[in-house]
Amino acid sequence: MKKVLEELFATVQDFRETVPGIDSQVNFADLNSSAVSAKKMVVNIITAAVYREIVSGGETDALSYLRSAVGNATKYKENIFEVLKKRKADGGDIYKYELEGMRRQYIDNYYNAMDSLIAELENFESWKLSPYYRLREKLRIKTAEEFDSLYPIDCSYLFFFRTTPLQREVLSDTIGAYFNRIEGREADFEDKLKLALALTVVALAISRFDIIELPATIRSLFDDSKASRNGQNEQDRLLALAESLMNKSSEILKSVDMALDESGTGDICTETSFARPDDKIYLMP
């Protein structure tokens, strides 16, 4: 069976030209276990059919971006094992900030490559048949550029497509009903509802995604190497940001509720009409 990196790179030298920091003694067999995992990351987004089409399509920009994405993700996953091998072999130490700096650079390279790759895929018919692409047509925020104008995500195509199922979930559970209520008054409320939608989607992504799946703008808030930080601190900060975004979204929806009620729509307020746990209920004899 052909190894993952052998599908993409003719020689180790080609691999070294695409991915920084590759040791001259490395071979594809040593990296294959990490490469399999890296390939799965990419295939989960673009589908196996699109991956095969790019690999078999000859030298294209899409293939260059695919090589960079898989190669840098492979090095990101392999990096910790290489550090351990080096320490055992010659006793050399690598400081935590150095390791984190290298891994951050590899994941940034992966993100940039995937963003560029997904932009190229707009010309692929197989991509238009993928679940992520077809789902986009049912959403209220349909492009990465529009999402970025509502909440900064580095205009990341990768993050946008990864969050399309979350956007569908939020629309189905709550905010979708608001868009139905404002029919005929889109100019007054649509921008506010899209902002609430974007904030809620980002909050869910922070709560559910691994930190490496977040755009650099969000990721940089947490993964800088600081002596006072640890894993629990990072998790607490992530959850605090997610809660803050959810609260902002809730406030926007409440303001829309009040505006619609004052305009005499007669609709039931889906947010403010629910009893809250801190409400006091008094029973009179």
**pLDDT, tens only, 149-176:** 999 998 899 999 999 999 999 999 989 9
Q: What is the pLDDT of residue 209?
A: 87
Q: What is the pTM of this model?
A: 0.77
**pLDDT, tens only, 19-56:** 988 877 788 888 888 899 999 999 998 999 999 999 99
Task: Measure the CA dihedral 246/247/248/252, to 10°.
Answer: 100
3-state helix, strand, coil in the chain (%, to 5): 70, 0, 30
- pLDDT averaged over 10-residue windows placed end to end, the chain, 285 residues: 84 89 81 91 92 91 95 86 62 63 83 92 86 88 94 91 93 91 85 95 91 80 49 71 93 90 55 52 54
Amino acid at 168: R
